[in-house]
Structure 1
Amino acid sequence: MRLVSDRIYIQKLTLDDLQPLLDFKLRNSKFFQPFEPIAPRSLYTLEGQREALKKLQENWEMELGYGFGVFLNSSNLLIGRVNLSNVVWGAWESCTMGYSLDEKYNGQGLTTEAVRLAIQFAFGSAGLHRVQAAVLPRNKGSIRVLEKAGFRYDGFSEYYLKINGLWEHHNLYSITCEHWQSMK
């Protein structure tokens, strides 16, 4: 499973990506800290990444989540992640999206490309109807990514997620397959 844009591609993460994922996590730990939940120390080890990848693969097989690596076309270097998580079927047919990109590659539009590819998968192969994302109001770069990818602002949610040890307010955004189709 590989989806390609001009500069990057996303593909399903596998155990072959174990070391690159750990390197990515270690390289960006301070950069991501203000925007992520506090991770257990084990996540910064090969064994911790192995367990996370196994869970990701289980979710993929059960159609409960889809985890992708973001890779540069030019070098196949892993520079990010984009995840479709918390998939719920039935009347909702929706998921939540999260993403992260190596600090070195931020501000170049690569995250927007990755998000668009993940949306393409969500509304294509996965057969979902809606993708939503929650963003800290102070994370202007992430808000721009969602807006450029076609997400619409849904509202404000107080104390939505525990980020870096604190319950933080979030802006909620979403895109539906109808809106996605109308953008083409």
Structure 2
Amino acid sequence: MAVPLPTLHDGRIGLRPIRVRDSKTLERELLGNRTWLRMWEATNPYGAGQFDVRGSIRSLLSQGRQGTALPLVMEYDGEFAGQLNVSGIVYGSVSSATLGYWVAERFAGRDITPVCVAMVTDYCFERLGLHRMEICIRPSNHASLRVVEKLGFRYEGLRRRYIHINGDWADHFCFALVREELNESILSRWKGHRVPPDACVIPESDRRAASLPLRTYPNR
């Protein structure tokens, strides 16, 4: 099922579908923010892939046409500020998706990411009829942890060596929201200071576990 790609706005902050003609801008931003993004960038465990921004955009748009993704650009005053992708969209008895994002360093601290995460999650719940949205974050990514804390995503657990990041398998904390937890939009709940204060609490045992290497066994 094809999924409509939304254009959403809240004041100076906006989301729109990514376009193939964004390739030069995207490449410039990725290269210019290389140091800022490297620690959180997903990598290929089987070797470095080709840096093909135009091909990456076409792949994302293909997933959008197949109904499995929402590939979007975050903007501030109409300027390219980062990317937000809703991926792994499934319907039926699961009706869920996963959300990921990055923002350029010069736009950090302007609440662009939480506003965009809130807007697109509201869209997925209210317009697409999804039931659950998940966000997975590295334990050391404090800026991203603040996003889910602000919006009241509920902590669900530690995923050991979950995604290959910056050259190695990295632990992630998992957060989610389901529609039954909300009696208003996520954006209005946050702006109205009605986010439950304890939704995002991470048990100290999980914080300790994430700081320790995973016990491994030699091949037999």
The answer, yes or no, to whether TM exceeds 0.5 is: yes
Counterparts in 2 of 1:13-24, with a 5 A limit?
13-24=18-29
- Alignment check: 8 A CA contact 1:38 1:165 kept: yes
What corresponds to 2:156 in structure 1?
154
The gaps in structure 1 that reach 5 residues or longer are: none
- Alignment check: 8 A CA contact 1:82 1:118 kept: no
Counterparts in 2 of 1:97-112, with a 5 A limit?
97-112=99-114
- The CA distance in 1 between the partners of 2:65 and 2:143, in whole Å, is 32
RMSD of aligned residue pairs (Cα, Å): 1.6
Compare 20-29 and 166-175 and name the one that shifted more: 20-29
- Which has the larger share of helix? 1
Compare CA radii of gyration and give the structure with the larger one.
2
Q: Which amino acid aligns with 1:59?
A: Q
- Alignment check: 8 A CA contact 1:150 1:180 kept: no
Query: C-alpha offsets along residues 107-129 of structure 1, whole Å, 9 cap, x if unaligned?
Result: 22111111111112211332211
Percent of aligned positions that are identical: 26
- Which has the larger share of strand? 1
- Alignment check: 8 A CA contact 2:13 2:116 kept: yes
- The CA distance in 2 between the partners of 1:163 and 1:180, in whole Å, is 32
- The CA distance in 2 between the partners of 1:18 and 1:177, in whole Å, is 35
- The CA distance in 1 between the partners of 2:29 and 2:126, in whole Å, is 28
SS in 2 for 1:35: coil
Counterparts in 2 of 1:61-140, with a 5 A limit?
61-73=65-77, 76-140=78-142
SS in 1 for 2:136: strand
The 1:180/1:117 distance shift into structure 2, 3 A limit, reads same
Aligned length: 178
The gaps in structure 2 that reach 5 residues or longer are: 1-5, 190-220
